């Protein structure tokens, strides 16, 4: 019980400091949503962004961006800048809201995301072959879980500072799902080198090892290609994968538990935020390469 109270105290204390440092306007964003649905008997909410260029006559890609533990949809929107790219590229973005307090994600939320996709497909002209999921921290872990459990609906996934706690042996997707990930070597919340952190006692996997195993799941070549170095950013790409489902990891030297190229968060809590790359832009460039096959068994 003492450990549980300590963890909750750390999270809530960090949340209060975060909000105070972001300013009074942040408080107004905490519970900001503009849509809801009934999923498995529960009222669930989300924040939806539809660009002005949206044309109901044209099937439009959908990006699902998932907030982290103790965060909320409008904050994920603010941190990631997905709306700016949606305006430029013409896709719809939805930011679902987790449950409990603090807000979080778990395996039971897979059904909610499936219901959310159906809900939006009934109201907008969504290209069902171009639906992508990504998230920060617990939201990155949730995106990975969606790739395992909703491979028939999600074309590709992305994770930033992802908390990948679902064992890989429990990930049995209907098809190989491409993945792109970003992680800082100085992440104080989800350690790059694995193990527990000051915030959470549950051990996390060693990120490069986990990515290598994730690539094996996709049937990729065991030796990755090195991507061009960009300042403190290095990357590897696993190729020759089954159905072309590549896996990419960008490593941010001395990077924190933050969104590269996004809104800077209090460094005292989560570490530094690099502006040398944009995780959002790189994710979209990666996502654009993939469409969901009409038949999950087809190449």
pLDDT of residue 198: 79
Average pLDDT per 10 consecutive residues for the chain, totaling 299 residues: 43 42 45 84 95 97 95 94 97 95 91 98 98 97 97 98 94 97 97 88 93 98 96 97 98 97 91 97 98 63
Strand-pair partners of 35? 46
pLDDT of residue 147: 98
Q: Which two tokens stand for residue 81?
A: 């800048």
Burial of residue 50 (CB within 10 Å: 0-12, 13-18, 19+) is: middle
Residue with tokens 């109901």: 56
- What does residue 230 show for φ and ψ, rounded to 5 degrees? -125, 95
Q: Quick one: which H or E segment has residue 238?
A: strand 233-238
**Ordered structural domains, the chain, with CATH:** 2-287 (3.40.50.1820)
Q: CB of 82 within 8 A of CB of 49?
A: yes
Q: Which two tokens stand for residue 242?
A: 């089954």
pLDDT of residue 201: 83
Displacement of CA 226 from its chain's centroid (Å) = 23
The model's pTM is 0.90
């Amino acid at each position: 019980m003492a450990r549980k109270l300590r963890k909750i105290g750390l999270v809530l204390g960090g949340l209060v400091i975060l909000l105070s440092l972001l300013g009074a306007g942040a408080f107004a964003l905490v519970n900001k949503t503009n849509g809801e649905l009934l999923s498995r008997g529960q009222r669930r909410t989300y924040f939806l962004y539809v660009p002005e260029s949206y044309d109901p006559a044209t099937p439009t890609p959908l990006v699902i961006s998932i907030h982290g533990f103790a965060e909320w949809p409008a904050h994920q929107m603010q941190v990631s800048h997905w709306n700016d790219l949606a305006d430029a590229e013409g896709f719809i973005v939805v930011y679902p809201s987790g449950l409990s307090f603090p807000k979080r994600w778990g395996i039971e939320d897979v059904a909610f995301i499936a219901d959310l996709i159906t809900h939006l497909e009934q109201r907008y002209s969504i290209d069902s072959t171009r639906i992508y999921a990504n998230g920060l921290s617990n939201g990155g872990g949730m995106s990975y879980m969606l790739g395992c459990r909703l491979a028939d609906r999600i074309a590709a996934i992305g994770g930033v500072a992802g908390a990948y706690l679902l064992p890989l042996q429990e990930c049995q997707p209907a098809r190989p799902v491409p993945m792109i990930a970003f992680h800082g070597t100085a992440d104080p919340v989800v350690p790059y080198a694995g193990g527990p952190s000051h915030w959470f006692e549950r051990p996390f996997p060693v990120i490069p090892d986990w990515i290598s195993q994730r690539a094996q799941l996709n049937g990729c070549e065991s030796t990755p290609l090195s991507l061009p170095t960009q300042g403190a950013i290095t990357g590897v790409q696993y190729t020759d994968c089954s159905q072309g489902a590549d896996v990419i990891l960008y490593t941010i030297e001395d990077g924190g538990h933050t969104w590269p190229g996004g809104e800077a968060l209090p460094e005292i809590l989560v570490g530094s935020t690099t502006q040398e790359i944009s995780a959002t832009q790189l994710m979209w460039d990666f996502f654009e390469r993939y469409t969901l096959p009409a038949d999950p068994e087809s190449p």
